[in-house]
Amino acid sequence: MTTEAFATGPAAAPTPNAPPKMQGEKVCVFYGDKQALFDVDLKIEPFSVTSLIGPSGCGKSTFLRSLNRMNDTIDGCRVAGRISLDDDDIYDPSIDVVELRARVGMVFQKPNPFPKSIYENVAYGPRIHGIARNKADMDEIVHSSLRRAGLWNEVKDRLTEPGTGLSGGQQQRLCIARAIATRPEVLLMDEPCSALDPIATAVIEELIDELRENFTIVIVTHSMQQAARVSQKTAFFHLGKLIEEGRTEDIFTNPRNKQTQDYITGRIG
């Protein structure tokens, strides 16, 4: 496996005292007059997987989309508080949203490959950001991204075929390959497995665990088992508030909050 293209940081386990990769402080999000998030304080540790859980409409996706300013595309959406990437406020006017999204990539709930060839899907990000210097460079980026996403063996003979012709699980891995091809520092995943069958889900979960070496990952999931399997840190949202956050094993074995306990044992949600 080629990994040198991804050696963007130490592949070591996070030290407890490392500064957070991303941090939300008193984050409030409004859709028009309706407030969707209330004073969320959350630290995203580098080179670990943070999962956001909670019932539908609790604001976990809203928080995730605030992390790379995808909420900007929604008319009437307003974010208050401070969200920082490496201690830089990402809502500061001096930050270009294009650069932010190149550093904080995203994988969506529904696989959404471009209706172009598999190669073009992966090459698009590096091309617009000018990452590859020449064709050989680009080939290397595309191939290693597909390998990282565990898709290489399945598509290496049909890189010119449309990405939309792949199966659902393959499409989602193609989207992951596309996201990591721009070498982001943080990877946001919004329920990446909700449209997939259990086998494809297992493949992607394994992949997330591997990607943790090089990327900081934030994942929204509806599956408590998934959160328990893939994440080191878990945050529980309810009705727009961050109820509890902590190490995943603590949240699932020994929740401090009654609501969290009710949710993870299936009594609410």
CA–CA gap between residue 257 and residue 184 (Å, rounded) = 34
Q: Is 268 in the site for another protein (CB under 8 A)?
A: no
In the bound state with another protein, the residue whose beta carbon lies nearer, of 17 and 73, is 73
Give how many residues touch another protein by CB under 8 A.
29
Checking DSSP bridges between strand 49-53 and strand 104-107, what pairing results, if any?
Answer: unpaired
Please check whether residue 155 is in contact with residue 117, taking contact to mean a CB–CB distance below 8 angstroms.
no
Q: How far apart are the first and last CA of the chain?
A: 41
With CB under 8 A as the contact rule, the residue among 27, 106, 193, 200 that binds another protein is 106
In the bound state with another protein, the residue whose beta carbon lies nearer, of 127 and 222, is 127
Q: Tell me which long-range contacts 79-82 makes (C-beta under 8 A, separation of at least 24).
A: 79/27, 79/28, 79/29, 79/30, 80/26, 80/27, 80/28, 80/29, 80/30, 81/24, 81/25, 81/26, 81/27, 81/28, 81/39, 81/40, 82/23, 82/24, 82/25, 82/26, 82/27
Q: Is 220 in the site for another protein (CB under 8 A)?
A: no
Please check whether residue 82 is in contact with residue 266, taking contact to mean a CB–CB distance below 8 angstroms.
no
Q: Is 246 in the site for another protein (CB under 8 A)?
A: no
In the bound state with another protein, the residue whose beta carbon lies nearer, of 71 and 259, is 71
Angle, CA 212 vertex, CA 166 and CA 117 arms, to 5°: 25
Least Cβ distance, residue 23 to another protein (angstroms):
21
Q: Is 102 in the site for another protein (CB under 8 A)?
A: yes
Least Cβ distance, residue 98 to another protein (angstroms):
5
Over the window 155 to 174, marking each residue x when it contacts another protein by CB under 8 A and - when it does not, the resulting string is -------x-x----------
Q: Is 194 in the site for another protein (CB under 8 A)?
A: no
In the bound state with another protein, the residue whose beta carbon lies nearer, of 26 and 267, is 267
Sites for another protein among residues 51-80 (CB under 8 A): 68, 70, 73, 75
Looking at residue 162, the DSSP 8-state letter turns out to be: B
Footprint of another protein on this chain (CB under 8 A)?
68, 70, 73, 75, 98-102, 105-108, 110, 112-115, 124-125, 128-129, 162, 164, 175, 178-179, 181-182
